[in-house]
Amino acid sequence: MSIWSCPVCGGDMERRERSLVCSKGHMFDYARSGYVNLLPVNRKRTKDPGDNALMVQARRSFLNAGYYKPLCDRLCGVLVPLSPAQGVLLDAGCGEGYYTKNAAEALAQSGKQMEVYGVDIAKCAVDAAARSCKSAGFAVGSVFHLPVKDESCDVLMSLFAPYCGGEFQRVLKPEGKMVLVIPGEMHLMGLKQAIYDKPYANEVQDYALEGFRFLGAERVEAEIFLENSEDIRSLFSMTPYYYKTGREEHRRLEELEELRTQISFEILQYEKEV
């Protein structure tokens, strides 16, 4: 058995060779790379929702270069003591699996026996995650309709993905833990100053979330230096600014050959209220 639930009828699923099958006979095949697609056609707003292959590759290259390693290291430092000795961790909105893989490795090295899973709506991202992290299970699915059983997860983490409080509460066990990562107030200010006439700080929302008890926040701040235009473009394509920036600002970005900027994150920790 796994944590996956049938996206058609909501029933439990079991693996039969290269497929997942529910009690009503709904069947979903595993891809060669090891993930399963649990996103029904009627829940797709486009043919291929989520990030495209170019964006996924740009993010992989940027993250694998180590620019966000301070965040990854601290995230793992939070997850290990927060996790039980044995249980399930779900990465909701896992992308290409960079943080999923590092979390799985950190938990294993600590002696924790945690099953690790990841869900993302972008098929190309999940395919990349499944290829890079064979110790975790991955599925294509929406965080708004997680193909995951009720109260099956001990820990849920979500980095820069949409917050879906009702779904996160549903899949977490009683007193299950949740870790959210959000941009800090001054995140990427150097990038903004380089391309915008009026750069602005990020608005950090109130920590209180309905249905969860706030446990604490950790701030991660560092300065990174990008010494080539390719890494700068990769970073920019990872941000929401990519879609909201005009032609003139894109021109300024293309002219940048190096960039020094602050990175700032907040790691928020919660416990599901019973």
pLDDT the model gives residue 274: 85
The whole-model pTM stands at 0.94
Instruction: Profile the chain (274 residues) by mean pLDDT over runs of 10 residues.
Output: 89 92 94 94 65 86 96 98 98 97 98 97 96 96 96 97 96 97 96 93 91 97 96 90 86 95 97 94
Distance CA(270)–CA(170), nearest Å, equals 15
pLDDT the model gives residue 44: 61
pLDDT the model gives residue 42: 64
Domain annotation for the chain: domains and CATH numbers? 13-272 (3.40.50.150)
**Burial category of 1 from C-beta neighbours within 10 Å (exposed 0-12, middle 13-18, buried 19 and up):** exposed
Q: How far does CA 257 lie from the centroid of its chain?
A: 29
Please give the single-letter amino acid code of residue 28. F
pLDDT the model gives residue 60: 93
Q: What confidence tens digit (pLDDT) does each residue in 44-71 have?
A: 666 666 678 888 888 999 999 999 999 9
Q: Tokens 């290990």 appear where?
A: 80
Q: Tokens 């193909």 appear where?
A: 147
Q: What confidence tens digit (pLDDT) does each residue in 204-216 have?
A: 888 999 999 999 9
pLDDT the model gives residue 98: 97
Distance CA(172)–CA(150), nearest Å, equals 7
